Amino acid sequence: MRVGVVGGGVIGLSTAWYLKKMGADPVVVESWTLGSRCSFGNAGWVCPSISSPLPAPGLTLKSLSWMMRRDSPLYIRPSALLKLTPWLLRFRSFCNHADQKRGIAAIAALNRFTMERYDELAASGVEFECHESGVLMVFRDSDKAAAAEKEVKLVTASSATSCTDLTESEVYEREPMLRPGFRFGLFVGADRHVRPDSLSAGLGASLRASGVEIHEDTMATGFRSEGGRVKAIVTPKDDVPVDAVVLAAGAHTGALTRMLGWPIPLTAGKGYSVTIDQPRNQLRQPLYLGGAKIGLSPFTGALRFSGTMELSGINRRMDTARIRSLRRIVSREVDIPEAKEGGRAWVGMRPIVPDSLPVMGKLPSRENVYVNTGHQMLGITLGPSSGWALAGLILEGRPGVGLDAFSAGRF
The CATH number given to whatever domain includes residue 198 is: 3.50.50.60
Residue 208 has pLDDT above 70, yes or no: yes
Q: How far is CA 34 from CA 24, 101, 129, 219, in A?
A: 20, 35, 17, 13
Q: Which residues contact 333 (CB under 8 A, 6 or more apart)?
A: 178, 179, 289, 292, 294
pTM for the full predicted model: 0.97
How many other CB atoms are found less than 10 A from the CB of residue 410? 13
Phi, psi dihedrals of residue 187, rounded to the nearest 5°: -125, 125
Average pLDDT for the chain = 95
Question: Is-contact 232 77, C-beta < 8 A?
Answer: no
Residue 66 has pLDDT above 80, yes or no: no
Q: What is the C-alpha radius of gyration for the chain, rounded to an integer number of angstroms? A: 20
Q: What is the mean pLDDT of residues 85-113?
A: 94
In a domain, 276, yes or no: no
Residue 156 has pLDDT above 90, yes or no: no
**DSSP-assigned letter for residue 91:** H
142: left (phi over 0), alpha (psi -120 to 50) or beta: alpha
pLDDT digits (tens, 9 = 90+) for 102-153: 999 999 999 999 999 999 999 999 999 999 999 999 999 999 999 889 888 8
Compute CA 154 distance to the chain's CA centroid, rounded to the nearest angstrom: 20
The CA distance from 327 to 322, in Å, is 9
Single-letter residue type at 359: V
In a domain, 65, yes or no: no
How many other CB atoms are found less than 10 A from the CB of residue 291? 17
Confidence of residue 74 (pLDDT cuts 50, 70, 90): confident
In a domain, 376, yes or no: yes
Q: What is the mean pLDDT of residues 214-228?
A: 97
Q: What is the mean pLDDT of residues 34-61?
A: 91
Q: What is the pLDDT of residue 376?
A: 97
Q: How many folded domains does the chain comprise?
A: 1
In a domain, 156, yes or no: no
In a domain, 155, yes or no: no
Confidence of residue 61 (pLDDT cuts 50, 70, 90): low
In a domain, 183, yes or no: no
In a domain, 6, yes or no: yes
* Percent of the chain with pLDDT strictly greater than 70: 98
In a domain, 366, yes or no: yes
Domain of 251? 1-44+194-266+355-411
